[in-house]
A and B are shown apart, each in its own frame.
Chain A
Amino acid sequence: MRLDETAQMSVTRVVRTIPSYLAAGFQTDYEKLLSRFAVTGSVRYEEFAKIWKEMRFPLIFCGRSSQKELCLFASECLSAAQKLMQPLYTLQARVGALYLLYGLYFIQPLDPRERVRVTLQQWKELIELESILVEQQHHDARFCLLKMKIDEAFLFVATTTEMGPLSLKVNTELDGIAEDLKAQKSELTELTQTDSFEQLEAIHNQYQSMKRALCGPDASAPDFSLNVVHKNIAAVIGRTVAERATDRKRTYRRDEPLMSEEDEVIDEYEDERVPRSSTADKRMAIKKKAMNLVPTAPKDRRHRQAKATSSPQRNAKRATRPRLKPTELPTEEEMEGKTTLSMPTFHVETECKKRGRKSAKAKASSRIGSPKKDKSSVKPISENVKSHRGKEDASASSLATSPTVEPNPPKRRRKGKQPVLHASELLVKREKPAKKSKPTKKTKASCK
């Protein structure tokens, strides 16, 4: 049946990807512009225009010789700016994004101008923003929005981009990847840069001394049979991570001439205002500021969302913690009882925990019947180790995950979707050749 075949063919086709990201570097630029605007703490247009001119932002459209390319670039820029107007940011950040959109729209060297694509949802958010501007009498921002409306700058669309089997896939991730690699900023390296290794080291020492204590008051080393973890676990993980990062870098470098360039560029413009840190960190800093230190809970948990006014300190503490997704945030109730959060619950914990956390916890508490097990503080671990003297093998995993031991853990292990080699996995891998017997397996399984 040819009809079928024809359609089948189209379906198996891959969308074309542009070999290089056209708006490369734009994100860095607008983030710089907006962070400088955020520093002023003002919503006045003059402040924005000052920075805009200082940076000579209109030059951004230079060097695009073909009109099609210019169109693509303009639409990329506009949609990036528009995304920053989402209501999850503070008013100051949204107004900054509005000015950016206004500037980009009117300065683009195209006739007719490339329009800003808005879906119904985005339009409603924009109208909401406008009503806030009216209410708070921000005439300059309102005026800019009005100017755009009068020019019919917005295209009311059904989908955020045009779609089709031949549509160009603009790989927006490319920009980020290049930058990340430049600073070797994978999740792995982030792991090493946070203090999680020190924490791991500390726990490990504690664990070792505990094992020593089990052997008697004056034993110099723990019993041989308790050697399930490498003696210098932190160092070993650190080394493996570094090796892998180098490998990764080498792999990506091959066809990415952009990076070295960007590397250099970033270094050059790095100034005293922003301390030397990765772009990702800077991005986070901007977002943090923009989101007013309120971590956004997923929609279904909005009712539990922390309020900026209620306890700013605690929220600030939370927001400054890196790489913590809203979904992983401890709930208010969980937070209440905790005074110290320095334990490695979400530093060392990685995917295995994310996946199995809830079910494992639930099962564990029902089985062992100790509500304390949920609290990730130092004490429960030691208790746990003591109470399971015969099962020391499991304590290795309890270091990395919640301090519970499951007699018959679910043997689910998803392979393939593991972009990051995480600490607990490394731990298991290291142990594997030494002990092929049951305990290791168990460790692994309870980990998963």
Chain B
Amino acid sequence: MDSVHNVGSLSYVSQPVSIREFLESWQSALADEPIVLKRLPKTNVKQIAGIMNVSRSTVQELDTVCGIDTLKCPGQVKVRDDATSTIPDDTELVTLRLRKSELEKRANSKTYTHRLYATFRNHRSVMRTRVPGDKLIPMTVRDVVISVQIYRPFVGEQSCKYKPLVLDQELRVLGQQKLTDLRDAITCVADIALPVEMSVNPDMPVNTRCKDIYPSGFFYINGTFFNDLRHPEAKDLSSVIRTWGATRPNQIGEMREAAMEDTQFLDLSLRVGLPYLYVHQGDCEHLIVFTDIRMMNIEDSSDVSKYPIVSSNVSKKRTVCIVCLLYNARWVTYDDCLCSQSPAFFCDACFRELHYDSSGTKLGPFTAYRFYDKNAVLP
């Protein structure tokens, strides 16, 4: 499949990285790093002296000569400083002068600023997932942290070639975790939707969700379909694709199948940056991208049970009712005789006012489903 997409020519895709090899090579490389094992207090002169094999007074002297205080200078920006946008005039730094003109440019052009911020939108910020209670674990037994991006699914049958790629969720998983852990952390409204047409009785009590009826799903990573078969009713959604692929062995290459619940991330060999696929609910297709593979850092939580950690949920515009243009949409109707659009979105009040008479009878033919706005119902 790699040759179909000419993966090697893509600037944002790396060579395949075997997670286990990555982990093991780093663990052995860091084996000789005793100092990184412990979080030393700033002035732990004794330990630094021990590592450097010098006397304590030497370390104290070094701290006064080379300490962080020696770097400071008046007027520098501090953490969470609101005055970060002011630039001193009397500076010889070229960066700052260019920065000044850049800020002027932004002040003068809203279009430019907008375009600029749009590009930043998906960029991560620094993040601390570690909490004070988390214990420090030695370098050599730390796990791999893998950042995953989940993209919004492509809806409908039309070509998705020209649709924008919209980021939906960013997660961090550990190497020791199973692929199913990632799957369970991916939130999609298709899973919580109610699989019942409710136009006859909008108050019909429904307890089953789509996920309960259609629990199947798979990841497609490097030529292998990882099927989630934990649920007894789960089906192998990939079989039809594999059958299709088998008829084109030269173009597509070999397609394998494996169990999602038996596979750790450590078992994988990933291309960083290459879009892989997550399919659930039959045809809800999300691209997933592994954007970073790294060793766990001090700022990462060492608590395995917290992973996968959601590092960002990209907010998007909510869907509003087409009548009042005020409240969140709760209902979606298709082929609605009272409305020119299909699908059409309504808030609860407007939906009932428009479609039913006082006795609760339908005022015309239409089909209605409960609508879940991802931003309104999912964390």
A residues touching B (Cβ–Cβ < 8 Å)? 1-13, 15-20, 23-26, 28-29, 45-46, 49, 52-53, 55-72, 102-103, 106-107, 109-115, 117, 120, 123-124, 127, 139-140, 142-144, 146-147, 149-152, 155-159, 162-169, 257-258, 261-262, 265-266, 269
Q: When the two chains form their complex, are residues B95 and A23 in contact, meaning their CB atoms are under 8 A apart? A: yes
From known contacts A62-B87, A109-B81, infer whether A56 and B35 are also in contact, taking CB-CB under 8 Å: no
Question: 8 smallest A-B Cβ distances: which pairs?
Answer: A163-B273, A58-B76, A25-B94, A25-B95, A156-B295, A158-B293, A152-B298, A25-B98
Main secondary structure of the interface of A (DSSP, over half): helix
Q: When the two chains form their complex, are residues A71 and B294 in contact, meaning their CB atoms are under 8 A apart? A: no
Say how far B164's CB is from chain A's closest CB, in angstroms: 9
Contacts of B6 in A (CB 8 A): 11
State the CA gap A163–B94 with chains docked (Å).
30
Closest to B6 in A: A11
Contacts of A3 in B (CB 8 A): 220, 241, 277, 279, 285
Q: When the two chains form their complex, are residues A158 and B115 in contact, meaning their CB atoms are under 8 A apart? A: no
Closest to B85 in A: A65
From known contacts A72-B120, A167-B291, infer whether A59 and B96 are also in contact, taking CB-CB under 8 Å: yes
Q: When the two chains form their complex, are residues A111 and B273 in contact, meaning their CB atoms are under 8 A apart? A: no
Q: Does B377 contact A (CB under 8 A)?
A: no
Contacts of B7 in A (CB 8 A): 11
State the CA gap A89–B52 with chains docked (Å).
25
Q: When the two chains form their complex, are residues B149 and A166 in contact, meaning their CB atoms are under 8 A apart? A: yes
Q: Does B326 contact A (CB under 8 A)?
A: no
Q: When the two chains form their complex, are residues A157 and B292 in contact, meaning their CB atoms are under 8 A apart? A: yes
- Chain B stretch 1-57: residues in CB contact (< 8 A) with chain A: 1, 4-7, 10-14, 17, 22, 25-26, 29-30, 32-33, 35-36, 39-40, 48, 51-52, 54
User: CB within 8 A of B292: which of A58, A139, A159?
Assistant: A159
B78, B120, B127: residue with the most chain A Cβ atoms closer than 10 Å: B120
Could you give 29 example pairs across A and B, Cβ below 8 Å?
A: A5-B159, A18-B116, A19-B115, A19-B116, A24-B95, A24-B99, A46-B65, A49-B70, A56-B73, A56-B91, A56-B92, A59-B88, A62-B84, A70-B84, A71-B123, A102-B71, A110-B126, A117-B294, A143-B66, A146-B35, A146-B48, A146-B52, A157-B293, A158-B17, A162-B124, A163-B14, A166-B149, A262-B97, A266-B94
Q: When the two chains form their complex, are residues A113 and B100 in contact, meaning their CB atoms are under 8 A apart? A: no
Contacts of B165 in A (CB 8 A): 10, 13, 165-166
From known contacts A10-B275, A20-B116, A23-B95, infer whether A63 and B86 are also in contact, taking CB-CB under 8 Å: yes
Proximity bits, B289-307, A CB within 8 Å = 1, else 0 = 1011111011100000000
Q: When the two chains form their complex, are residues B93 and A61 in contact, meaning their CB atoms are under 8 A apart? A: no
Contacts of A18 in B (CB 8 A): 116, 119-120
Contacts between the two chains (Cβ within 8 Å), count: 298
Q: When the two chains form their complex, are residues A62 and B88 in contact, meaning their CB atoms are under 8 A apart? A: yes
Contacts of B52 in A (CB 8 A): 139, 142-143, 146
Contacts of B298 in A (CB 8 A): 151-152
User: CB within 8 A of A24: which of B62, B102, B119?
Assistant: B102
From known contacts A25-B98, A146-B51, A158-B272, infer whether A123 and B29 are also in contact, taking CB-CB under 8 Å: yes
Q: When the two chains form their complex, are residues A63 and B103 in contact, meaning their CB atoms are under 8 A apart? A: yes
State the CA gap A399–B86 with chains docked (Å).
58
Proximity bits, B116-145, A CB within 8 Å = 1, else 0 = 110110111111100000000000000000
Q: When the two chains form their complex, are residues A57 and B93 in contact, meaning their CB atoms are under 8 A apart? A: yes
Say how far B377's CB is from chain A's closest CB, in angstroms: 25
From known contacts A2-B285, A109-B77, A261-B98, infer whether A59 and B123 are also in contact, taking CB-CB under 8 Å: no
Main secondary structure of the interface of B (DSSP, over half): mixed
Contacts of A72 in B (CB 8 A): 120, 123
Q: When the two chains form their complex, are residues B14 and A157 in contact, meaning their CB atoms are under 8 A apart? A: no
Proximity bits, B172-207, A CB within 8 Å = 1, else 0 = 000000000000000000000000000000000000
From known contacts A19-B119, A158-B272, infer whether A265 and B94 are also in contact, taking CB-CB under 8 Å: yes
Say how far A349's CB is from chain B's closest CB, in angstroms: 32
Q: Does B58 contact A (CB under 8 A)?
A: yes
Proximity bits, B142-184, A CB within 8 Å = 1, else 0 = 0000010100001001011101010100000000000000000
Q: When the two chains form their complex, are residues B84 and A63 in contact, meaning their CB atoms are under 8 A apart? A: yes
State the CA gap A265–B99 with chains docked (Å).
12
Contacts of A29 in B (CB 8 A): 93-95
Say how far B131's CB is from chain A's closest CB, in angstroms: 13
Say how far A143's CB is from chain B's closest CB, in angstroms: 5
User: CB within 8 A of A261: which of B97, B126, B167, B275?
Assistant: B97
Q: When the two chains form their complex, are residues B14 and A159 in contact, meaning their CB atoms are under 8 A apart? A: yes
State the CA gap A52–B14 with chains docked (Å).
37
Closest to A16 in B: B119
Q: When the two chains form their complex, are residues A4 and B4 in contact, meaning their CB atoms are under 8 A apart? A: yes
Contacts of B101 in A (CB 8 A): 257-258, 261
State the CA gap A258–B125 with chains docked (Å).
27
From known contacts A19-B116, A63-B103, A163-B272, infer whether A269 and B92 are also in contact, taking CB-CB under 8 Å: yes
A5, A64, A66, A112: residue with the most chain B Cβ atoms closer than 10 Å: A112
State the CA gap A150–B149 with chains docked (Å).
31
Contacts of A139 in B (CB 8 A): 52, 54, 58, 62
